Amino acid sequence: MSRFAKALFAATSGCQFLICPLLAHHSFTAEYDSSKPISISGSVTKVEWMNPHVFFYVNVKGANGKSSNFAIEGGSPNALRRQRWGKDSVRVGDVITVSGFPAKNGSSTVNAVTILLPDGSSLFAGSSYDLNGPKKAK
């Protein structure tokens, strides 16, 4: 895991109760590329507030002007609820900015570390980005 990736994580997360970005049901590194942190913005088209991970779908306009629909993976809904984020925190039509890591297989999937919401707050997505050590109990 690159130092740059760790620095991005440290700068954007501030690991909170139960929202530490690790230990999801799947291995982060087998799915996402921690050496290529990215940031994308777009309009939310769909919200899936479900186990084992919440998913947000976002239309992102590319350099050629065409839009692509990205799947944004967050943490578990339970962990987010304990941080007082709920199923209405991100809504269809919201323009959000996502910082995270792209899927290794080239699909339009991003593991979110933070999501900047329209109200200016930053939803720490509780991603499965794997980093041993940071933790904070309630």
Q: Which residues bind other proteins (CB under 8 A)?
A: 1, 18-20, 22-23, 25-27, 29-31, 48, 50-53, 55, 71, 73, 75-76, 78-79, 81-82, 84-86, 88-90, 103-105, 107, 109, 117-121, 123, 126, 130-133, 135-138
Are 61 and 118 in contact, with CB atoms under 8 Å apart?
no
Shorter beta-carbon distance to other proteins: residue 64 or 105: 105
What are φ and ψ of residue 134, in 5° steps? -70, 135
Shorter beta-carbon distance to other proteins: residue 35 or 59: 35
Question: Least separation, in Å, of the C-beta of 113 and other proteins?
Answer: 15
Q: Which residues on adjacent β-strands are paired with residue 44? A: 58
Q: Which residues on adjacent β-strands are paired with residue 73? A: 55, 111
Q: Which two tokens stand for residue 101?
A: 């890591």
